[in-house]
Amino acid sequence: MELIKEEFVATEKATKELVIEEITRNHKLLHRYKLDKPSIHIGRDYHNDIILADPHVCPSHISIDFIDEQWQITDNQTVNGTFIENQSERKFKANQHIISDGDVISLGKSQLRLLFSNHAVEPTVAFSPFESFINFMRHPVALIISIVFFTMLAGSIIYFNKPIEVNFSQLLVPAIGMTLGFALWPAGVALISHLTKHDTRLMAQLAVSFALFNLMWFSEILENIATFNSSSNNILPLFVTFTSVILAFSLFWLNSYIGFHMGSKRRIVVSASLTLLLFGGSYLIQYSKKPEFNPRPNYNATIMMPSFLLTTSSNVDKFIDDSSKLFDKTSKKAQEE
């Protein structure tokens, strides 16, 4: 867990034990030391209590001493100096500074955070309910089932749309190819989290992605059933389209939940932006390809086998009546243009 909040409490009484955290410039924790000594030496040579490898740090850079119930920094006339770099104030020289809980000091290019042992920590973060879902899905058996299911679905879709006779291997090769193609996404996310010094968790990423890919197939089938069973007056298919947006958002949210440590607000923003990029981008591509004038009608020709037929049909009167409205609509358009 990362300590992100630094509460500056001046009245906090200094403890005899001092916690020193070696952190990165982005305040990510590298090492943590807990020292119970009245005088602490920090520098590059080996007699120090905390040895820093930073070449810009002097061999004996600073000492921190517990005097009169207070910790005080002494800079040993170093080449590059020592500074207090708290987020809320301007950077200033650290020599003779009395330490407050949470102070960040910089020496060379390194940063240290100084905390008293009674520093208040963040409340415990409960496991997200998704955690158990992720753990369930990343179980090897569940993962294999989900990937095999995906491959089978891909294969059957290829089979259904091939107008010629095909044998098993002719289906298997493209189906596996498609599965590998889709695996690139979780693999890519895992790679990025590995590169950014987060947990790789490739299995979890694969598990979550394929589970959601399968749900997306399923929602597509639902969408087809909804479109098939409704007339163009019906808005039900629109709702079903909305589920695929939600699924995409969930995928991105889980990917970032598994792969990266970030605040919940930020995670929502990131997943929402990715969803927008995906759907907005594909809409934009469609829009840019749309010709200015289309001499062909654009209609929905979704048909499915009779077992998917769930509604009763309209009669001819109703159809003629609905169709007759199109004449007024197009006439109006013709007059406008």
Partner 1 sequence: MKAFFTLVFMVLSSSSFATEQAEQLFNQLKPSLYQIKLIDKASGEKSSIGSGFQISSDGIIATNYHVISSYVLHPKKYRIEYLDSDGNTGLLALQSVDVINDLALVKRKVDSVNNDDINFFQLSRNAPHKGEELFSLGNPHDLGMIVVPGTYNGLKKESFNERIHFTGSINSGMSGGPVVNKQAEVVGINVATSGNSIGFLVPHDKLDNLYQAFLLAPPESIERQMATQLTANQNKLMSTILNSPWLTKPLGKHGMIPIIDVPFIRCWGDSNAEKADALILTAVANCSLDENTYLSSRFFTGSMEIEFRYMQAKNIGANKFYHLYQQQITRAGAGNRAGKDNVTQYQCHHDLVMPDNQMINNKSIFCTRAYKKFPDLFDVLYLSASIDKNKQALVSHFTIAGIDKKNALAFTRKFMEAVSWN
Nearest residue (CB) to partner 1, 180 versus 303: 303
Q: Report the largest interatomic distance among the alpha carbons of the chain, rounded to a whole angstrom.
A: 97
Q: What are phi and psi of 328, to 5 degrees?
A: -70, -35
Q: In terms of CB distance, is 70 or 300 closer to partner 1?
A: 300
Dihedral of alpha carbons 167, 173, 174, 178, sign: positive
CB of 217 to partner 1, least distance (A): 14
Q: Please give the span between the terminal C-alpha atoms of the chain, in angstroms, as a whole number.
A: 63
Q: Identify any residues that bridge with 67 across adjacent strands, giving them in sequence order.
A: 70
Nearest distance from C-beta of residue 240 to partner 1, angstroms = 16
Distance in angstroms (rounded) separating the CA atoms of residues 196 and 35: 30
Residue 131's SS3 state is helix
Q: Least Å distance between CB 292 and partner 1?
A: 7
Binding site for partner 1 (CB under 8 A): 159-161, 163-165, 228-229, 231-233, 292-307, 309, 311-316, 318-320, 322-327, 329-331, 333-335, 337
- For the bound state, the minimum distance from the C-beta of residue 296 to partner 1, rounded and expressed in Å, comes to 5
| Closer to partner 1 by Cβ: residue 88 or 161 | 161
Distance in Å, CB of 199 to partner 1, minimum: 42
CA distance 58 to 79: 7
Alpha carbons 250 and 255: distance in angstroms, whole number:
8
* Closer CB to partner 1, 127 or 299, in the complex: 299
Query: Looking at beta carbons only, is 208 or 240 nearer to partner 1?
Result: 240
DSSP letter for 98, please: B
